[in-house]
Structure 1
Amino acid sequence: MGSKGNRLLLLIGTAWLFDALDVALLSFIMPVIKQSWHLSAGSLGAVSAITSLGMMVGAVVCGYLADKIGRKPVLIGTLLLFSVGNLLLTITPSVGWFIAVRFLTGVGLGGELPVAATIIADHFSGTQRARMLVLVDSFWAFGWILASLLSFLVMPKFGWRITVLITALMGFYALLIRRHLPDKTPAEKPNQRPFGAALRQVWSAEYRRATACLSILWFVIMFAYYGMFLWLPSVLVLRGFSLVHGFGYTVLMSLAQLPGYYLAAWLIGKVQRKLVLAVYLFGTMLSAAAFGLANSSLMIIISGAWLSFFTLGAWGIMIAFTPGQFAIDARGMGMGFAQSIGRIGATIGPFLVGALMGVGFKIPAIFMVFVGALILGILVLLFGLRDQDRQ
C-alpha cells in the first residue's frame, strides 16, 4: 500500500472513528440526561431520532456538495460541524436545545462517511480500493472502544458535558491533521448540475438499478444494526443480564468487530464481493437469531461477539461496494443518497423495537423481524446488484 496509502488510511479513518465515537457516546449519555432532566420515553426517543434525521440530511447534501465543489473542503466542513456541535452541546440548558444541537451534529456526521468513502474510491481502484474501504471502516471499532473508555473513566467523575467537550477538542485537533489531505485527483471534475439534476442523474437509466438496490441494502443493514445494538442491550438488562452495560462487555463487542473487518478485507479480491457480502449477511442473520434466543450470560457473550463480527463486517463490505457503482462525477451523490435512505432504517429500527415490545412482542419474535429484513437484503444483493467497479 505504501506510505502514501497508509497516511490516507489514517486521515480518512478518523471519519469512521468520530462517527462511531458519537453514536456510542450518545447511547451512554441518554440514560444520564433521562435521569437529570426527568425525560419521558418520547423525549428520549426524539434525541435519538433527530440525530438520525440530521445524518440523513447530511449524507445527501454533503454527497452532492462533494461532487460540486470537491471532496476535501466538504470533508473538513463535516468535521467542523461535528466539533462545533459538540462544543455547543456542552452548554445546552434543556432537552429542547440538546435536540436542536444534535441535529446540527448529525448533519456533520452523516456527511462525513459518504464523502470520506468517495475520497478513497477516487484515489484507488479495483481490489486495492475495496480493501482500503473495508480497512478505513474498521476504525469504527476503535471509535467504540474510545467512547467506552471516556464513558467508564471520565463521565462518572466529571459528567457528560466534560466528556463531550473532550470529543469536541479531539475533533478540532483532527481538523488540523486533515489539512494534509490530498487535493483533487486528476480525474475529479466538478459536477455543476443543480441539486435536482444531480439527484435525477443517480436515478437515470444508467444508475437506477444500482441506486435502488444499494438504498435497500443500506436500509436493511442500518435498520438491523441500530435496532439491535442501540436498543436491545437495555432489554437484556431488564431480563437480568446486567453485563451488557459493563465496560468489559462493551470493549469485547468492539474488539470482535476487528477480525470481521480484516477477514473481509482479505477475502475481497480472492472471492467475488457479492458472495463475501452474502456470507456476512447470512452470518448476521444467524447471529441475530442466536442473540435473540440467548438465555445465559455465556450465550449473550458468544452470540453478541459473532453479531458484532458479521454485522460490522457486512457494513465494511457495503462501504467497499457502493462508491464503485457510480462514475466519479456522480459518486458523492450516489453514495450520499443510498446512505441517507439507510439512515431512515437507523431511525425506524430502534423505534420499532420499542413499539413491538409495547404491544407484547417477546425478544425472540422481535429478532425474527431483523432476520426477515436480512433475508430481503440477501435476495436484493444476489438478484439485483451487479458486482461492478467504475473508475
Structure 2
Amino acid sequence: MIWLTWFFALLGFYGLTTWLGALLQASGHSVAKSVSYTILISLAGVPGFITSAILVERWGRKPTAVLMLLGSAVAAYLYGNSPSFGWLIAFGLMMQFFLFGMWSVLYAYTPELYPTRARATGAGCASAIGRVGSLLGPYAIGVILPVLGQGGVFALGAGSFVVAAAAVGFLGIETKGKALEEISG
C-alpha cells in the first residue's frame, strides 16, 4: 500500500512541479514572472505542512493522507484548467497547500507502518519506490504535453494523486493512538 502511495504521489508531484515554470512560460508569462509566480505559489506550502501536522494528530494518519492526496488531485486539475490568471494563482496556492500537506503526512505515516526492526529499511524502500515515480513523472509530462496539452498534464497529475489516495483509503491502516508493536503485530 505505502509503495503504491509513494510511487504515485511522487510521480504526480515531480511531474507537475518540475514543469511548472515551463508551463507558465508556455501560457505566455516571461521567465522572470514565471519564477515569481512559482515562488509565490510555493509559499502556500508552509500552512499546508502545519495543517497536515495538526490533522495527523487530531484525525489520524489515514484520513489526513487521503484528504491531502485528494485535495492535491482536485487542485491540480483546477490549476490545469484555470479560466484566468487570478484563478491560476488561487488554484496554484491551493495545490501547493495540499502537496506540502501530503509530504507532511507521508513522512509521519510511513515509518509507523513498519516494525521497529525494519522501520528504516521499510521507509527507505517506500521512498526509493517513490523516487522511481519522481523520475518517471517529468518524463511522462514531456510525452503527454505535446499530445494532450496542459490539461492532459494536470489530469495525469490529478490521476496520480487519486490512485495514491485510493491506495491509502482502501489498503491503508490507521496508526493513530496505537502502539507500534500493535501495528506491526
Q: Does 1:361 align with 2:151?
A: no
Give me the whole-angstrom Cα distance separating, in 2, the residues matched to 1:235 and 1:263: 28
- Structure-1 residue corresponding to 2:62: 274
Q: Which amino acid aligns with 2:173?
A: R
Per the TM alignment, residue 235 of structure 1 is displaced from its structure 2 partner at its CA by: 2.0
- Identity among equivalent pairs (%): 28
CA contact (8 A) 1:241 1:297 kept: no
CA contact (8 A) 1:283 1:310 kept: yes
> Where does structure 1 lack aligned partners over 5 or more consecutive residues?
1-212
> Where does structure 2 lack aligned partners over 5 or more consecutive residues?
none
CA contact (8 A) 2:144 2:152 kept: no
CA contact (8 A) 2:13 2:157 kept: no
Give me the whole-angstrom Cα distance separating, in 2, the residues matched to 1:221 and 1:285: 10
Give me the whole-angstrom Cα distance separating, in 2, the residues matched to 1:374 and 1:238: 24
Q: Does 1:385 align with 2:172?
A: yes
Per the TM alignment, residue 327 of structure 1 is displaced from its structure 2 partner at its CA by: 1.6
- Map 1:117-128 → 2, pairs under 5 A: none
Per the TM alignment, residue 276 of structure 1 is displaced from its structure 2 partner at its CA by: 1.3
CA contact (8 A) 1:221 1:315 kept: no
Q: Does 1:251 align with 2:42?
A: no
TM-score by length of 2: 0.89
Q: Which amino acid aligns with 1:277?
A: A
Give me the whole-angstrom Cα distance separating, in 2, the residues matched to 1:239 and 1:268: 37
Per the TM alignment, residue 233 of structure 1 is displaced from its structure 2 partner at its CA by: 2.3
Give me the whole-angstrom Cα distance separating, in 1, the residues matched to 2:40 and 2:23: 19
Q: Which amino acid aligns with 2:29?
A: F
- Structure-1 residue corresponding to 2:51: 263
Give me the whole-angstrom Cα distance separating, in 1, the residues matched to 2:163 and 2:42: 27
- Structure-1 residue corresponding to 2:118: 330
CA contact (8 A) 2:11 2:135 kept: yes
Give me the whole-angstrom Cα distance separating, in 1, the residues matched to 2:141 and 2:74: 19
Deviations 1:222-269 (A, max 9, x none): 1111111111320220220232222xx233223211111111111222
- Map 1:144-293 → 2, pairs under 5 A: 213-242=1-30, 243-246=33-36, 249-293=37-81
- Structure-2 residue corresponding to 1:125: none
Give me the whole-angstrom Cα distance separating, in 2, the residues matched to 1:374 and 1:218: 10
Q: Which amino acid aligns with 2:166?
A: L
Q: Which structure has more RCO (C-alpha within 8 Å, separation ≥ 6)?
A: 2
CA contact (8 A) 1:219 1:342 kept: yes
